[in-house]
Amino acid sequence: MRVDELIANRTGPLFSVELWPPRSPAAEARLETALGELSRLRVDFASITYGAGGSTREHTHELVVRLRRDYGLLPVAHLVTAAHTREDLEAILERYTSQGIVNLLALRGDPPLESTGTLAPGELAHAIDLARLASEKYSMCVGVAAHPEGHPEAPGFEADMDRLAEKLEVADYAITQFFYTADRYARLRDALAKRGVDKPVLPGIMAPTSLSTLKRMAELSGASIPAGVASRLERYEDDPAGFQAEGTQIAIELCTDLLAMGVEGLHVFTMNQAATTVAIHEAVFGSQAG
């Protein structure tokens, strides 16, 4: 099943999640616990991240295959251009398609630390290049990333929306970076509509787990932390359980606002932790199981 087909044929909003490959035995155990919990929900698809510089290439592939085989989840494989040559990328795409994996999230990503940043002729410099390759040569369903507040490297929001519109001429849908007020999503949706783009854009939802992690991720992604959200979380800076509960509630309130706007679905960044994702699912969809 292709994600674009899921979106087109949905009878209600989709619910999808993002996971990442574990890097240690303890992380592996956490992931297995999370997968057991998530597999009992109505999860329409699960995307699997790709480590910086291609550092989780094999683990990503293994987890993508296992999701479908062992848990009955529809996997979406992340892949980045910055970590690989075109030959590498084609080999990875061949491997996925030979195993029936038809959904890809095409990203630029970060190059390996030893990279000079100089690309040889014919290499893929941008996510749109990978999206075109996966779509045209391998007939994959391709998603791309969207930044509700503009990519941190873009000269401005409007310029970034121009690039996103170009990517969505090739790709089938987009998933946003996290954000915390529905007006950010509305501005992105309106900007695309002005450019004649009507491809689906799924909002990315992240319940904050710690203030330091949130600030670091916001700085890297270009997302802002609204003053109201920050003040709510700062009250629980020394209370991990209270912080998680408040962060989950903030995410639930955002999901409620977005569903009222008619979004096609919700994509939750799980941080490989099931409890918060389960709480969000139950709050917005009830206790419906998969």
Q: Please determine, for residue 113, whether its predicted confidence score (pLDDT) is greater than 50.
A: no
Lowest model confidence (mean pLDDT) among 26-35, 163-172, 201-210: 26-35
- Taking all residues of the chain, what is their mean pLDDT, rounded to a whole number? 90
The catalytic residue among 18, 28, 62, 253 is 18
Confidence of residue 221 (pLDDT cuts 50, 70, 90): confident
Residues 6 or more apart from 262 whose CB is under 8 A from it?
A: none
Q: Please determine, for residue 96, whether its predicted confidence score (pLDDT) is greater than 70.
A: yes
Average pLDDT of span 84-97 = 93
- 264-281 pLDDT, tens digit per residue, is 999 999 988 899 999 999
Confidence of residue 69 (pLDDT cuts 50, 70, 90): confident
119/8: higher pLDDT: 8
Q: Is-catalytic flag, 18?
A: yes
Domain residue ranges of the chain, discontinuous segments joined by +: 3-285
- 118-147 pLDDT, tens digit per residue, is 556 668 889 999 999 999 999 999 999 999
- At 289 the pLDDT is 55
Give the whole-number percent of the chain exceeding pLDDT 90: 67
Confidence of residue 114 (pLDDT cuts 50, 70, 90): very low
Architecture of domain 3-285: Alpha-Beta Barrel (3.20)
84/176: higher pLDDT: 176
pTM of this prediction?
0.92
Answer yes or no: are the C-beta atoms of 159 and 191 closer than 8 Å: no
Average pLDDT of span 11-21 = 94
- At 244 the pLDDT is 94
Amino acid of residue 165? A
213/192: higher pLDDT: 192
35/191: higher pLDDT: 191
Burial 240-275 (b: 16+ CB within 10 A, else e): eeebbebbbebbbebbebbbeeebbbbbbbbbbbbe
- At 51 the pLDDT is 66
How would you write the chain as a 3-class SS string? CCHHHHHHCCCCCEEEEEECCCCCHHHHHHHHHHHHHHCCECCCEEEECCCHHHCCHHHHHHHHHHHHHHHCCCEEEEEECCCCCHHHHHHHHHHHHHCCCCEEEEECCCCCCCCCCCCCCCCCCCHHHHHHHHHHHHCCEEEEEECCCCCCCCCCHHHHHHHHHHHHHHCCEEEEEECCCHHHHHHHHHHHHHCCCCCCEEEEECCCCCHHHHHHHHHHHCCCCCHHHHHHHHCCCCCHHHHHHHHHHHHHHHHHHHHHCCCCEEEEECCCCHHHHHHHHHHHHCCCEC
State CA 26 to chain mean position distance. Answer: 23
